[in-house]
Amino acid sequence: MVSAGLPSASGDSTPDWLEPAMAANGIGSFDWDIRRDVLEGDHRACAIIGVEKGRFDSTSASFLSLLHPEDAPVVRRRVERAVAELGQCGAYYRTVGPNGSMRAVRFRGRVLADAFGRASRMVGFVWDATVELHKRDRADRMALLREERSRFIKEAARALSEAVTVRDVARVFTELPLPGLPPDGLVLAAQEAGRVQILGASGYRPDEMAVYDRSLLPAGHPAAEAIRLRAPVFIASREEYRERYPETWGPVSGSSRCAWAFLPLVASGRAIGVCLVSFDDDRELDADERTLLSTLGGLVAQSLARARLHDAEHELAAGLQRVMLPRTVPSIPGVSTAVRYLAAGSGLQIGGDWYDVVPLPGGHVGLVIGDVQGHDVHAAGIMGQLRIALRAYAAEGHPPAAVMARASRFLADLDTDHFATCTYAEVNVDYGVVYAVRAGHLDPVVRRADGSTAVQPVAGGLPLGIAPDEEYRVTRFSLDPGETVLLCTDGLVESRTMDLDTGFARLCHVLSGEVPARGESARDPLEDLADRVASQSADSSEREDDIALLLLRWDGPEGGLAAQQLRRRIGQADLARIAEVRAELRDALRRWGVADLVDTAELLASELVTNAIRHTDRDAMFTARLYRESDTDRARLRVEVEDESDLWPTRRTPGEQASSGRGLMLVEALSDAWGVEPRGTGKRMWFELCAAGPDAA
């Protein structure tokens, strides 16, 4: 390197004013002979670059070795492009001194051509750019910080918009990573009637928050001032806190925090709480930082207001639903029940689905599942009225068809323009017979003792409230001990993405799964089965409809046999009841293991019942009992029909053309024993049949 001035490109000497101008601005010059690869510069250029004697041999390779490893390839590419194009180039680069110190340099050069148009020399200037580069680095850092803050606001807004409940908002706020403002503590508090409620905190011990939770804020507290003025309060140091708020300095003086930001939460013009952001060092927040925190406070306020409204609506809906549905399911000997209610994932999470378990006269049990049209508070209100009415009709002892018909008339009389679907089933707890009536609702599903599951068809009628004079048909089916019947609403088996057939197939598959035996689980296996069925439904956030679910398992008497007694009252005007009693007697005898007595017993029982109904004006009581003799393994069936008439039966000998009078003759001829006994008021007619033993089948 030389410290002499460079000749101009035209060969003229350097103007006298150029050297003082370059010296005043700290600019050095260089000249690189491209063909000989010799690089020379004046003393200012050497000082700016940091060249020391002995470290530089005037070659381009030696110059590049002085540069920072990240900058050398950039300078090389730009110089090579300028040489190839006979153009200009320039760049910032960093040089590394012997002791590892770095300095920033900027150069600008131009390639000159010889008489043949070939690249011959590069001449140019260099100057110290450390201050300039620092300014650019700081500008880059500020631009990056602004970008991070903008991204943070977007991410915070997204996270807070997805927060549904107050707890979600508190969790999101206390986990926010503030860009460039690493706080040591975050607190979210709501205000109600002048008291603050701590919703969430990070960086604070529980005992620190307990002092303020659900307490009145002192008027001189910075949080109270922020809420009162609806403006942020920023405190840069402990001294500033002590000077501005001496009344509340005491509890704060023992902490290690040195700066605070109290952000009021204002929604719809009303202050609903405050956010606290604290730091463990003195922090004079600049305008951008204060704007960031104020914006964050606004986002949290809007999310908190929305979440509080959601929680209030959810609590209202849940409370209303709890009132409308049975608080507890009654315990009835001989059967086990399990119920579930799952609210839809949208709206008020309240609707018209309901279930009920009704104890009936004679120890029987009624099962109800239904769904009122609609998914709102109005539907829930109608559901509550209909549930109570249907429960009352069932508890009065009306047969299933009458219960459903009366419920339909009741709903029609309400004049609500709503209808309801419903399935009602009366279960004979003595021997597991189910009498089901369906009003536009889903069929029951039965899980048999061997684990197989199938839909049980039930004769259907119109939904309740559509045709007040609708007559409903009863479908009868039987359960063996340990078998389960399931009633549900359509939300369990039908959705926009699943048709009814697919839903029932999936439900049957779930029900058919292995169920732990009684005693193997701490819970009743029926409860586990109810949980498994409920879990197959869609997640609550996706569920489109409410789900009501009712399971009943007929446990039967101890030992697995049906109770060997059948007792029924038959109304004097209820002739259809005679056919029902005959059917119940048939099922009972098959279950008791004396199926060979079915035909005879049914015929003779029908004769006695018909005789009592026809010749009296009172109800009759039918009773069938099976006795077993342990020594002979014989079974004896005794059937009794009681009435309150003093008229004694007379055995007649009817003529060939007579249409009546053969009842007692049949009883005498086919029974093993029969008789009539007085009962004080009325009488008891009976007959007995003997069987050799339990039916092998």
Domain range summary for the chain, segments of one domain joined by +: 18-128, 147-315, 328-554, 565-691
Q: How much is the pLDDT for 13? A: 55
End-to-end CA distance of the chain: 119
Grade residue 688 by pLDDT with cuts at 50, 70 and 90.
very high
Alpha-carbon distance of 388 to 222, in angstroms, equals 55
* Conformational region of residue 559, where left means phi above 0, alpha means psi within -120 to 50, and beta covers everything else: left
Say if CB 186 and CB 277 are below 8 A apart: yes
Identity at 449, one-letter amino acid code = A
The predicted pLDDT at position 14 comes to 61
Spatial distance between the Cα atoms of 388 and 645, rounded to a whole number of angstroms: 38
Taking only the tens place, the pLDDT of each residue in 148-185 is 778 888 888 888 888 888 899 999 888 888 877 788 88
Residues of the chain with pLDDT > 70: what percent? 86
Question: Band of the pLDDT at 665, cuts 50, 70, 90?
Answer: confident
Contact between 485 and 453 under an 8 Å Cβ cutoff? The reply is: no
DSSP strand pairing (185-192 vs 270-279):
antiparallel
pLDDT of 695 above 50: no
DSSP 648: P
Burial 353-378 (b: 16+ CB within 10 A, else e): bbbbbbebeeebbbbbbbbbbbbeee
Residue 170 has which token pair?
Answer: 């508190």
7 or 262: which carries more pLDDT confidence?
A: 262
Rounded CA-CA distance 383/358 in Å is 16
Q: What is the pLDDT of residue 520?
A: 56
Give pLDDT tens digits for 247-273: 989 888 888 889 999 999 998 888 999
Q: What is the per-residue pLDDT for 568? A: 78
pLDDT score, position 662 = 60
- In angstroms, rounded to a whole number, what is the distance separating the alpha carbons of residues 75 and 660? 125
The reply to whether 565-691 shares the fold of 147-315 is no
| Distance (Å, whole) CA 516 – CA 36 | 94
pLDDT in tens, 645-658: 767 665 555 544 44
Asked if residue 437 has pLDDT above 60, the reply is yes
- The string of pLDDT tens digits covering residues 63-117 is 888 888 888 899 999 999 999 999 999 888 888 877 777 788 888 999 999 888 8
Among 230, 235, 226, 173, which residue's Cα sits nearest to residue 199?
173
Is the Cα torsion angle 345, 350, 354, 358 positive or negative in sign? positive
CB-based contacts of 198-203 (< 8 A; 24+ apart in sequence): 199/166, 199/167, 199/169, 199/170, 199/273, 199/304, 200/167, 200/169, 200/170, 200/171, 200/173, 200/174, 201/174, 202/174, 202/175, 203/278
Higher pLDDT, 178 or 575: 178
As a whole number, the mean pLDDT across the chain is 82
Would you state the structure tokens that stand for residue 208, as one six-digit string?
Answer: 């620190």
Domain covering 18-128, topology: Beta-Lactamase (3.30.450)
Structure tokens, 367? 């099962």
Q: pTM higher than 0.75, yes or no? A: no
Query: Of 280 and 537, which is predicted with more confidence?
Result: 280
**Residue 173 phi, psi dihedral angles, 5° rounding:** -65, -45
Decide if 670 contacts 600 (C-beta within 8 A): yes
**Cα separation of 683 and 643, whole Å?**
6
Q: Mean of the pLDDT values across residues 370-380?
A: 78
pLDDT bin (cut points 50, 70, 90) of residue 485 is very high
Report the pLDDT value the prediction gives residue 516, as an integer from 0 to 100. 63
CATH placement of domain 328-554:
3.60.40.10
What homologous superfamily does CATH list for 147-315?
Answer: GAF domain (3.30.450.40)
Confidence (pLDDT) at 40: 87
Cα–Cα distance for residue pair 241/252, rounded to 1 Å: 9
Q: What mean pLDDT do residues 356-368 have?
A: 88
Token pair, residue 532, equals 């498994």
Residue 9 pLDDT level (bands cut at 50, 70, 90)? very low
DSSP letter assigned to residue 354: E
Please write the tens of the pLDDT for every residue from 180-232.
778 888 999 998 877 888 999 998 888 888 888 888 888 889 999 999 999 99
| Structure-block tokens of residue 342 | 């799952």
Q: Which residues contact 602 (CB under 8 A, 6 or more apart)?
A: 582, 585, 586
Once rounded to an integer, what is the mean pLDDT over residues 397-414? 91
In this structure, the number of other CB atoms found within 10 A of the CB of residue 407 comes to: 28
Q: Which residue has the tokens 């020399």?
A: 121
Distance CA 440, CA 419 (A): 10
For the cut 70, the answer to whether the pLDDT of residue 322 exceeds it is no
Copy the structure tokens of residue 238. Answer: 């402990």
pLDDT per position as a tens digit, 548-569 = 899 999 987 654 555 677 777 7
State how far the Cα of 91 lies from the Cα of 89, in Å rounded to an integer.
7
Report in angstroms the alpha-carbon separations of 588 from 29, 54, 564, 574, 632: 118, 118, 8, 22, 22
Q: Per-residue pLDDT for 129 more than 70?
A: yes
Residue 540 CA to residue 534 CA, distance in Å, equals 11
Q: Which CATH number fits domain 565-691: 3.40.30.10, 3.40.720.10, 3.10.129.10, 3.30.565.10?
A: 3.30.565.10
- Which pLDDT band holds residue 6 (cuts at 50, 70, 90)? very low
| Under 8 Å between Cβ of 496 and 544 | yes
Share of the chain above pLDDT 90, in %: 27
Q: What integer pLDDT is reported at residue 345 of this predicted model?
A: 56
Residue 442 has a CB neighbour count (10 Å cut-off) of 25
Read off φ and ψ for residue 449, nearest 5 degrees.
Answer: -65, -30
